[in-house]
Amino acid sequence: MSVIRVAWGHATAPTALSSFDAALAEANVHNYNLITLSSVIPAEPPVERVGTAPDLGPAGQGLTVVQSHETVEPGSENPAVAGLGWLRSESGRGIFYEVSGTNRADVETAIRDGLAAGRELRDWAFEDEPTVQIETADSEPDEYATAVVVAAYGESEPLV
């Protein structure tokens, strides 16, 4: 595995699913079948914040990810908030923690609390501070809004 890329995006659209697809497009992971993992980071690959993912292979292939996403209805007073945080150990192994909601401060607090709990479960020497990426999306009067944060593991792979 070469690298784990953290990408994010937000968008509005006339349906909940189309706003999710558009947010994935902003992160440039919309042309893949996302295969969601639990949240353990292998020791070898670096984790890079890229914002928008590069081309990760042919459309329609599977892309292994840890993802956070939130969608809010048209006219919502609260934004869609998606967040992903991570910690690495001295060995390189680590954990992701993904949270979504409608309040940025609450999402960040939940990420930090979740990472602290995950750290306590493992007998690994972790770095001091987590890295956190949060994305928000405000709804429009007539459109859904979605925020996504995705950690893409390497390149896409054929499904069949």
Q: Tell me, what's the pLDDT at 1?
A: 59
Supply the pLDDT for residue 73.
98
Does the residue 158 lie in any domain? Answer: no
Could you list the residue range(s) of the whole structural domain that residue 72 is in?
A: 4-153
Which ranges of the chain have pLDDT less than 50?
Answer: none
Residue 159 lies in a domain: no
pLDDT recorded at residue 99: 98
C-alpha dihedral sign at 12, 16, 19, 23: positive
Q: Check residue 93 and give its pLDDT.
A: 96
Q: How far apart are CA 86 and CA 105, in angstroms?
A: 17
Residue 71, in any domain of the structure: yes
Report yes or no on 17 lying in a domain: yes
Angle subtended at Cα 52 by Cα 49 and Cα 53, rounded to the nearest 5 degrees: 85
pTM of the predicted structure, to 2 decimals: 0.96
Cα(141)–Cα(74) distance, rounded to whole angstroms?
Answer: 5
Q: Quick one: tokens of 160?
A: 């069949």
Q: What is the CATH number of the domain that holds 20?
A: 3.50.20.10
Q: Which amino acid is at 125?
A: A
